[in-house]
A and B are shown apart, each in its own frame.
Chain A
Amino acid sequence: MFFVTYLRRELGRRMRQGVFVALGLALGVGLVVTVGAASAGVTKAESGVLSGLYGVGTDITVNGPLWITTHQYCMRAGCEAGPNCTPKGCHGKPELGPQTKIQTPLFDTVSASTVAAVARLHDVAAATGVLTFVYGLKHAQSGNYTVDGVGTGHSPIGALSADRVVSGHYFTAADSDAGVALVDSVYAAISNLRAGSAITIGQARFTVIGIVTGPAGTSPVSVYIPLARAQALGAGLANQVNLIYVAAASAADVAAVQSEISRLLPGDAVNTDGSLFSDTWPAPSGPASQVTGSLADAAKLTSDLGRWVSVLALLAAFAVACLLTMAAVARRSAEFGTLKALGWRTRRITAQVLGESLITGILGAAAGVGVGFAGAAIIAAVAPTLSATDATAIGSMQQVAQNGSAPPVVSGPVSVPLSPSVTAGVIVLAVLLAMAGALLAGAFGAWRIARLRPASALALVA
């Protein structure tokens, strides 16, 4: 109780200094919380952009090696090496030909039983297969587009979901083998398509039943058709898929599921949010670098400048706290000398000073969290809407085109609102930093007290 009484009285006596130190810590802590909130908001926005590419409810995608040459397709279709398999395709296979439109799977295919095997793995909640390919003239730089053959049921995961339909309607269960298609809004605008329009893929005719858009309006896929119809478009594609969407039972299971799938399908690329396409193409690292536009600039700003500003503010707050504490100890030298004369041990006096610093730190942390919330609210209120373009879709398709298979898919920029969110982790970090600053200041004071000679301290009063 004496400790608390003494502490309370001292803080009351030096209220102005204590408030000054607490405000300094609050500013540093507030900046950490604000920058953390902005960073979390940017990350959330990026994920939203990428989820349009990545798939609905999906934790992992699995794809085989890139199928880059028509020759490989000929081999799969049954043409043996030799005069029957030429750059023009397999002789006698009407769907392949030098001047005809070709369907080239992006990745090597696997059978549907592989999808079932993945779905049976431990900690896998669901798995679904998609057949994705590029349709268009070989080596053409425009006019080609990506087609996904998807399941027509309402699956929780996959390339597409019903809530992305903006006009018309989604597939029904009866459409599993029907000549119907959903078209991406960007491609529909370019090609002047709407519900009821007709498109031709290979020899097959499809009726557009709806227009879809991604969460951020970006998608490398232009047309979605029933999986069975996609598999019927090319020889050797019956019962085949080349992209598996996998949902783990929980976020904590993602890494384990990724390992299990890698063991089941060695040689295939098993991608999570952080490694999309990294095993398939020499891609930039992580989703953040796959998004361009002002969203990416904001990410860089919060990551680089924001982090440095908050670190500098914290260091300045720490320095001020240390200096003021040492000055206060110097002013109280006679008081501490008297306590030493009374027989108070150095550590008892030090505990008093540390306690005062800690209280100041707690006040600074609490104020700092408030400042952080206010900063996040200000950012949410005044931050401009950011734009983002998924560069991965464009870049990756360009690489495919260089290999002679598919041209780039054009997807336009989209607007992304920035919603800063203050996470519990950032609050805890900020509070710990404030406490660390306060204890550091107390430690400096304690060091000064430990060096204090009672006779010298008392002489300051005499």
Chain B
Amino acid sequence: MYTLTGVTKLYHKDRRTIPAVAGVDLIVGDREWLAVQGRTGHGKTTLLNLLGGLDRPTQGSVELDGTSLGALPEAKLTRVRAKSIGFIFQTFNLIPTLTAAENVEAALIPLGTGQAERRRRTATALESVGLTNRATHLPTELSGGQQQRAAIARALIKDPAVVLADEPTGNLDEDTRDDIIALLEHLWRERGLTLVLVTHETSIARRAQRVAVMTDGHLTIRHESANP
């Protein structure tokens, strides 16, 4: 799925150059669940942004199924994100003026899907995350867990090849956190997704097949799980 070769991302602040990601080499296989762990500010989110084509590396290459994301023009990169990559954010990032169903439906707009088809698939997606009875509720009318379920439905409605989750349980209480992780795991298995999940919690990271650790922008593989 992913091949990262010598990937570096530098940020410039005043006169300083900060390597958010430094010389990362990584291969993520199809249908693999990779957890990326590390302390705040060590490059986890930057790595995820590079994998999702939300940012471009300063050096090196990020290839998704053999296509270098950094070399694509913006329009094509946007198209790749629309079709192949689902995002789940720590703060849910639902559009506040759209209902849960409309937020999920928004992911299909770039694909040009017809209205009837969009609604059918939205209903299916909400059902898969147990949110059918909250379809017409605005985000402010949903709990944190419900909002994250809606975000998961939004990420999965387009049947992406890869789902990138950035601290999906970071804003949730413990019980809800477990529910969300369990849901993600279930969907990962059911759909055969490639899942890259960023977390700072070891208990969550250990549920993945592999755990990588980011330290000062450098990535090391710490743990290979027995999780089939």
Binding site for B on A (CB under 8 A): 1-2, 5-6, 9-10, 12-13, 334-335, 338-346, 348, 453-455, 458-459, 461-462
A345 to B, closest residue via Cβ:
B78
Q: Does B33 contact A (CB under 8 A)?
A: no
Q: Does B17 contact A (CB under 8 A)?
A: no
Q: By the criterion CB–CB under 8 Å, are B55 and A9 in contact?
A: no
Could you say which residues of chain B place their CB within 8 Å of the CB of A348? 109-110
Cα distance, A12 to B138, chains bound together (Å): 14
Cα distance A6–B138 in the bound complex, in angstroms:
13
Please state if B81 and A342 are interface contacts (CB–CB under 8 Å). yes
Of B55, B82, B109, which contacts A455 at CB under 8 A?
A: B55
Q: Report B-chain residues with C-beta under 8 Å of the C-beta of A1.
A: 115
Binds A, one of B100-108, B172-180, B188-196: B100-108
The yes or no answer to B79 lying at the interface (CB within 8 A) is: yes
Interface of chain A: mostly helix, strand, loop or mixed: helix
Question: Which positions 75-120 of chain B face chain A at CB distance < 8 Å?
Answer: 75, 78-79, 81-83, 87, 89-91, 93, 95-98, 102, 105-107, 109-111, 115, 118
B45 on interface, CB distance cutoff 8 Å = yes
User: Do A6 and B54 have beta carbons less than 8 Å apart?
Assistant: no
**Is B82 touching A343 in the complex (CB atoms < 8 A)?**
yes
| Pairs of residues from A and B, 8 with the lowest C-beta to C-beta distance, nearest first | A343-B82, A9-B97, A343-B110, A455-B55, A338-B93, A454-B54, A343-B81, A455-B49
Q: Is the CB of A341 within 8 A of B54?
A: yes
Q: Inside 8 A of A6's CB, which chain B residues have their CB?
A: 95, 97-98, 102
- With a cutoff of 8 Å between Cβ atoms, the chain B residues found around residue A9 in the complex are 97-98
Q: Total contacts A to B, CB within 8 angstroms?
A: 87
| Interchain residue pairs with CB less than 8 A apart (5) | A10-B97, A341-B87, A342-B87, A461-B89, A461-B91
Interface size class of B (residues with CB under 8 A): 20 to 34
Q: Is the CB of A462 within 8 A of B91?
A: yes
Cα–Cα distance between A268 and B76 once the two chains are bound (Å): 73
Cα–Cα distance between A346 and B73 once the two chains are bound (Å): 13
Q: Are B97 and A12 in contact (CB under 8 A)?
A: yes
- The answer to whether B107 touches A342 (Cβ under 8 A) is yes
**In the bound complex, what is the Cα–Cα distance between A338 and B109 (angstroms)?**
13
Contact between chains at A2 and B110 (CB < 8 Å): no
Nearest-neighbour CB distance to chain A for B181, whole angstroms, equals: 20
CA gap between A420 and B41 in the complex, in Å:
68
Residues of B within 8 A of A341 (CB): 52, 54, 81, 87, 93
* Contact present for A345 and B90 (CB under 8 Å): no
Closest to A339 in B: B106
Closest chain A residue, CB of each to CB of B9: A455
The docked-state distance in angstroms from the alpha carbon of A6 to that of B103 is 10
Q: Is there an interface contact between B75 and A453, defined as CB atoms closer than 8 Å?
A: no
Q: How far is the CB of B101 from chain A (nearest CB, A)?
A: 11
Chain A residue at smallest Cβ distance from B158: A343
Q: Please state if B75 and A345 are interface contacts (CB–CB under 8 Å).
A: yes
| B210 within 8 Å of A (CB atoms) | no
Residue B154 is within 8 A (CB to CB) of chain A in the complex? yes
Taking a contact as CB atoms under 8 Å apart, the answer to whether A343 and B97 are in contact is no
CB distance from B199 to the nearest CB of A (A): 14
Q: How far is the CA of A459 from the CA of B118 in the complex (A)?
A: 29
Nearest B-chain residue to A8, judged by Cβ: B97
Task: Establish whether residues A342 and B82, one from each chain, have CB atoms under 8 Å apart when the complex forms.
Answer: yes
B residues near A345, Cβ cutoff 8 Å = 75, 78, 110
**Alpha-carbon gap, A148 to B5, bound state (A):** 102
Which residues does chain B contribute within 8 Å of A459, judged by CB atoms?
45
**In the docked arrangement, what's the CA distance between A454 and B69, Å?**
15
- Tell whether A343 pairs with B78 under 8 Å between CB atoms, given A9-B98, A455-B54: yes
Contacts of A13 in B (CB 8 A): 96-97
- Extra pairs beyond A13-B97, A335-B95 (14, CB < 8 Å): A13-B96, A341-B87, A341-B93, A342-B82, A342-B106, A342-B110, A344-B82, A346-B78, A348-B109, A453-B55, A455-B49, A455-B55, A462-B45, A462-B91
Interchain CB contact under 8 A, A461 and B110: no
- Residues on A with C-beta less than 8 A from B79 are 343
A458 touches B110 (CB 8 A): no
Judging by beta carbons under 8 Å apart, are A462 and B90 in contact?
yes
A344 to B154, alpha carbons, bound, how many Å?
13
